[in-house]
Amino acid sequence: MLLLAVAVLDIAAAVWTATHLAAGGTIGNFFSYFTIQSNLIVIAVWIGIALFDPQGERWQLARCAATLYILITGVVYTVLLQKVAVGIMYPWTNDVLHRVTPLVALADWLLVPAALGISVRLIGWLLAYPLVYGVYTLIRGPIVDWYPYPFIDPRGQGYGPMAIGLVFLVIAFVILAVAVITLGAMASRWRARRASA
């Protein structure tokens, strides 16, 4: 029920943000933030878990992906965007979308872990969405003359420096994906040992 409650809070924060856009903001731009997309993914997965209590491997993969994406949101915000205006004008919605939801997702992943096993295929599958998001942003940006985040905006820094920065981000995402999978496996083994003790 906790996940459902946080999902409802997350929905409220997203709806409030969508209906109180910053000057010049559009719904298209709103849904083009990775923050919003990752929170919507988490909401969908958590509601599914709360309503159906699924235990299959596909659901655990979905949980892993949702956890990774929202942790990317939290980590990138904390490291790169805390002092940057990113179109979310109200502190409470900002805290819910960038801090509360990532922390709850991490706690859920550790308390109800899944041992998926690290593989290149799994990491590639997990990172496909962030990579597609990056391509989408770089295609859409010149068309609408708007980019959601400064690190993926070539207008001020040029494509070369931006590309270098994005390579480092991809490396960080790979490390984070490995960390999420590893933490799930470690927590799963710990729970199994406790259950058999």
pLDDT for position 144: 96
Rounded mean pLDDT, 97-124: 92
pTM: 0.92
Residue with tokens 């420096």: 161
The pair of structure tokens assigned to 5 is 């409650």
- Mean pLDDT in residue range 50-61: 82
Q: What is the number of structural domains in the chain? A: 1
182 has pLDDT over 90: yes
In this prediction, residue 190 carries a pLDDT of: 84
Local confidence band at 145 (pLDDT 50, 70, 90 cut-offs)? very high
How confident is the prediction for the chain on average, in pLDDT? 90
Q: How many helices (H) and strands (E) does the chain have?
A: 9, 0
**Are 137 and 148 a contacting pair, CB within 8 Å?**
yes
Would you state the structure tokens that stand for residue 172, as one six-digit string? 């960080």
Which residue range forms the structural domain that includes residue 182? 2-196
Q: What pLDDT score was predicted for residue 99? A: 95
- Mean pLDDT, residues 116-143 taken together: 95
pLDDT of residue 100: 96
Tell me how far apart the alpha carbons of residues 70 and 49 are, in angstroms, rounded to a whole number. 17
Residue 17's pLDDT is 87
| DSSP 3-state of 105 | helix
pLDDT of residue 78: 94
Distance, in Å, from the CA atom of 138 to the CA atom of 93, rounded to the nearest integer, reads 26
Is 70 exceeded by the pLDDT of residue 89? no
Average pLDDT estimate for 107-134: 92
| pLDDT computed for residue 58 by the predictor | 86
CA dihedral 29→30→34→35, nearest 10 degrees, is 150
CA 34 to chain centre: 7
